[in-house]
Amino acid sequence: MTLLETLDFVRHAKAEGKRVVFTNGVFDLLHVGHVRYLQEARALGDALVVGLNSDASARAIKGQERPLVAQQERAELLEALSCVDAVVIFDEPTADALLQALEPDVYVKGGDYGAQGPPEAPTVRRYGGEVRTLQLVPGRSTTDLIETIRQRFCR
């Protein structure tokens, strides 16, 4: 979805009294850790919106060799999951601007942040939203997959 389409989706969902959950990330090489995380995030509300880092912002965060899967394909994969209601691609290094625009009821991130939470937490708290962190699935990450591929096939 475009940002305008996503805004309309969120407004409509809230008008129906739905609790909107938002999360964001690169979601490169979609794996079971991603799926479990997204299912758990969706269980916190009635609609799940995923902010997807564009290829450019993924490179800025993960390095020049990433992403392995292009943004449109990553978006298509996420949209195919029954737990995901909307996907919007963004170029910024953080989701602050999206959060300010959408004002979801709940902002969810993985539990790899310290006690202060993700960098977007102050933005969410300013408009009265809730910040939740979820436990990651141990040993399930794109970085782990890349390392396994290197060990097995790059000898």
DSSP reduced 3-state for 111: coil
* Domains along the chain with CATH numbers: 3-153 (3.40.50.620)
pLDDT tens per residue across all 155 residues of the chain = 999 999 999 999 999 999 999 999 999 989 999 999 999 999 999 999 999 999 999 999 999 998 999 999 999 999 999 999 999 999 998 999 999 999 999 999 987 776 678 999 999 999 999 999 998 777 777 778 878 788 888 87
Three-point CA angle 122, 71, 61, nearest 5°: 45
Query: CB atoms < 10 A from the CB of 35, how many?
Result: 16
